[in-house]
Chains A and B, each alone.
Chain A
Amino acid sequence: MPMPPGDLWSLAPEFWLAALGIGLLVLDLFVPEGRKRIVGWVAIAGLALGLLPIAGMLGGPARTVLLGAYAVDGFAVVFKLVIVAATILVILSALDSLSGRTGFEGELYALLTLSSLGLVMMAASADLIVLALSIEFVSLSSYVLAGYFKEDRKSAEAGIKYFLFGAGASAVMLYGFSIVYGLTGHTSLYAIALQVRDAPQPALVLALVMVLAGLGFKVSMVPFHQWTPDVYEGAPTSVAAYLSVASKAAGFAALVRVLVVAFAPSSVELVALVAGLAAVTMTVGNLIALPQTNIKRMLAYSSVAHAGFLLMGVAAFNAEFGTPGLVVYVIAYAFTNLGAFLVAVAVEGRLGTTELSGYAGLAQRSPALAAAMALFMLSLIGIPPTAGFFGKFYIFAGAIQAGLLWLAVAGVVNSVVALYYYANVIRLMYLVAPESPLPLAEPTALRLALGISALGTLAIGLFPQPFVALAGAAALLLRF
């Protein structure tokens, strides 16, 4: 079957990212040691250019290309924007924190760029094989990224742990895919959707659970979350930020597409299953986050908890507010959580610690940094007028509209628990005296990234209308 030329045009962002990644690798060969930041800046410029063709697809008609294997719809476009924007901010934060800690600085930027290509493809895959390939593509680069400081034992541990867990999860997921294929005879999600009603229940449930294991691993869903704290703690902080935002966003995009497109037409109790997982995930994440004393481990468990909130949006997919709620939440969470990690990068860079005790008196040592962190913490709690509040508002709305009032109540209880450990960071920064009164200066590139995150966090809270419109368009187009 010949491919229509329009198909290739709609893959322009992917081609651009691939070319950029390879170009960066080549460029790295010619940039002398000590000036590798140039590679990073080129990556940032390239990724920013890559946003243009993606944004150009907003509002376009929803369709699939490559013989139905790849979706070009509002849902994918929004997630692509989030992923690429997050990658830009992560590279900005890495520019200052990496130099001196690794001999392979240039390759890191290339790897981040290439892995964002994989994430972009994950968000758009409409076929189990393409999905499996893009997940593997992402995973392989992520393993390397997590273990990037190979002389650092914790980083090496993070890499190997991520690899072992990840390989296991992928294997289980692939097995699930093969069962789905066996039951329906198709790999295209839209074709599976037509067959899935007649598939035998027990086998389908087994397949669903296996698929959930694989994708749940990517998004840190309980009980597949155990890798999260160790990997976040050990990995370079910028990489942890990347895993917690870009990788999670893509994971949710894939999860929603697989569940909503392929499994929803079946008679499996999908809503109850996902709602239960959501409640368990947020509760476990929040409870274990409470006693953490390391900012990266705390943010890791908090990201598990937020996966629970996002799952609430997945569970409410039947409601008009459900999937848009998820999309709004992903955008809000991306800005906020990246911001929180960026502050962690800055503090680690100046003080050399990721322990929470290092944040004592930060408000006096660096008022801007502390104010930004306070904003991000308030957003993670869900206090208006921040992005986090609006995301939570929309997710709760979806749950209530879908008749899942109990889940919304569980979310409320969890928000209160979460308040305690987020407020603890604020308490340390503002209420506790600093160990030393020396001011901290944050580097320029990081300041830019922080400014963008803070601005985004406030803008979504104060002027949510464009984001609501975006999310609404994204959700409408998902199921054609």
Chain B
Amino acid sequence: MESYLLTITVFLPLAGGLLILLTPKGREETMRWVALATSGLAFLASLWLLGPFDLGAAGMQLQERYAWIPTIGVNYHLGIDGLSLPLFILTALLSVLSVVYSWKVDQRVKEYLFLFLLLETGMLGVFVALDFFLFYVFWEVTLVPMYFLIGIWGGPRREYAAIKFFLYTVVGTLAMLLGILLLYFNADPRTFGILELIEQQPLARAPMLAALAFWGFFLSFAIKVPMWPFHTWLPDAHVEAPTAGSVILAGVLLKMGTYGFVRISLPMFPETFKAYALVIAILALIGIVYGALVAMAQPDLKKLVAYSSVNHMGYVMLGVAAAAAAVGVPEKARAATIALNGAVFEMVAHGVITGALFLIVGVIYDYRAHVRGVDDFGGLGARLPLYTGVTSVAMLASLGLPGLMGFVAEFLIFVGAFGVFPELTAVAVTGILFSAAMFLWTIQRIFLGTPNPRWADLPDLDRREAISLAPLVAIIVFFGVYPRPLLDLINTAMTSLMVAIR
């Protein structure tokens, strides 16, 4: 059982999706329960991993490996470590919460749930695939369902947003494909195995090709993150996507980009990454400041959260770039490890926090007010106490209030990055200032002030919404107060990574 645990977890949602396809029309309730059961089981299975997983050991665990296309050396190879495990569990959690939240979707339910579960399988697969071919397949499998989720169940400009998302992402993935092939043909023996290629460093002696391959991967990951200036698809996609789609987009799909940087770019091209680390750090810095400033100017709550993602992903990239810049400099290795720990912690934190924020926007927009302008509300605090409490926790976590999850991540990133890029980090800290201003101002405009009579009989959270939000709030508070278990897990993996690339 344990030796197949990863495969089972990854493909459970797909199995559920196929079951839903076979469910006759008109049995929507059955389909919803199937979706909930399979995504719930996948979540439980992902938690089950904590049992056989040796928390203290670095390196890949629970590996599964079978020949897939032996002629060209493609394997079905899965494995999990301290970097992927938190993201894996996060993905399963956000998926099951999204299914709960989507209970009220009543338009084309069968297609919706099938695509959602297919998407979950793709995302889970990305985080555990250890063969480039397999990684690429999972990576692209996430693409098509998201296109449909935005395009069919999205907002008024859904068609534009959907195709823009599709086009941007495909540009990136194809560039990555060329990078993969460059690695493959320069390896000896040829392999698509990610671990084997990291071991071999096939392009270490061909700086020109290494740079080409590096930028190929960079394009793919940077579009996904998204880094400034590749971010323009994000506001459109986030704003137009249905609530559950935004949650998954912000919570998981963006993490695929940063995960790629840490899992692949850093160990595969340490020297090349180091050479361009400053450039990438500057792009990250622009994203931080620009994201925060643009978010502050947004009248639309959903767009505000979307731009705050650009800001937060900038922190992650700053941490990663700092780690890359420290390659080969032993005295900076400690700072680099801290920055990297912070970056990975921020991936998880941002997934939880922004997932919660998009659910919060959905709560007010989808079934209550049907508007989401920051200035449309006012004085909701007295009317909706539960909703106000949840929103405040999530927004304060997002702006980095100590005691909540976001603070831990950002603190570590700044401490680590300061040891490598002191000037850049000093500027980046202003991003905190802007996002604090933005979120506080938002809270003020929505929840404080004179109550808007238009919303006099707005109901508070119902059970479905409370169920989908409660676990996220609990995680935000728990790991904000006691980050140690998660941090230890990440630290084990990041320390061994930094040792490997020295």
Binding site for B on A (CB under 8 A): 363, 378, 381, 383-385, 389, 393, 396-397, 400-401, 405, 408-409, 412, 415-416, 419-420, 423, 427, 430-431, 464-465, 468-469, 472
Contact = CB atoms under 8 A, between A and B. Distances in A.
A415 B170 contact: yes
B427 to A, nearest CB: 35
B140 A409 contact: no
Contacts of A384: 136-137, 140-141
Interface string B131-172: 001001100110110011001100000110011001100110
A396 B144 contact: no
Interface in B59-106: 68-72
Contact of B68 (A383, A397, A465, A469): A465
A409 B137 CA distance: 20
Given A408-B178, A465-B68, A416 B167 contact: yes
Interface string B171-204: 1001101100110110000000000000000000
B159 A416 contact: no
Q: Which 4 A-B pairs have the closest CB atoms?
A: A384-B137, A412-B174, A431-B151, A468-B71
Nearest to A363: B111
B182 A419 contact: no
Nearest to A419: B170
Given A416-B171, A468-B71, A400 B166 contact: no
Given A416-B167, A431-B162, A468 B137 contact: no
B15 to A, nearest CB: 15
15 contacts: A363-B111, A378-B144, A383-B140, A397-B72, A405-B212, A412-B177, A412-B178, A419-B167, A430-B148, A430-B151, A431-B151, A431-B159, A465-B70, A468-B72, A469-B71
A320 to B, nearest CB: 10
Given A384-B140, A401-B185, 20 more contacts: A384-B141, A389-B137, A393-B133, A393-B177, A396-B178, A400-B178, A400-B182, A409-B178, A415-B170, A415-B174, A416-B170, A419-B166, A419-B167, A423-B147, A423-B166, A427-B151, A427-B163, A430-B152, A431-B158, A464-B69
A415 B148 CA distance: 20
A396 B177 contact: yes
Contacts of B140: 383-384, 389
User: SS class of chain B's interface: helix, strand, loop or mixed?
Assistant: helix
A240 to B, nearest CB: 27
Contacts of B170: 381, 415-416, 419
Contacts of A393: 133, 177
A400 B181 CA distance: 7
A412 B212 CA distance: 14
A111 to B, nearest CB: 39
A465 B71 contact: yes
Nearest to B166: A423
A281 to B, nearest CB: 19
A309 B133 CA distance: 20
A389 B139 CA distance: 13
Given A384-B137, A468-B71, A472-B71, A420 B181 contact: no
A387 to B, nearest CB: 13
A270 to B, nearest CB: 22
Contacts of B212: 405
A408 B181 CA distance: 10
A427 B171 contact: no
Contacts of A409: 178
A285 to B, nearest CB: 18
B181 A396 contact: yes
A112 to B, nearest CB: 34
A397 B158 CA distance: 35
Contacts of B167: 416, 419-420
A221 B245 CA distance: 42
Contacts of A419: 166-167, 170
A412 B136 CA distance: 15
Contacts of A468: 69, 71-72
Contact of A420 (B72, B144, B163): B163
A416 B171 CA distance: 6
Contacts of A396: 177-178, 181
Contacts of B174: 412, 415-416
A379 to B, nearest CB: 12
Contacts of A405: 178, 182, 212
The residue among B68, B71, B175 with the most chain A CB atoms within 10 A of its own CB is B71
Contacts of A427: 151, 159, 162-163
Nearest to A465: B69
A468 B111 CA distance: 33
A138 to B, nearest CB: 33
A396 B177 CA distance: 9
Interface string B231-249: 0000000000000000000
A469 B152 CA distance: 40
A381 B166 CA distance: 12
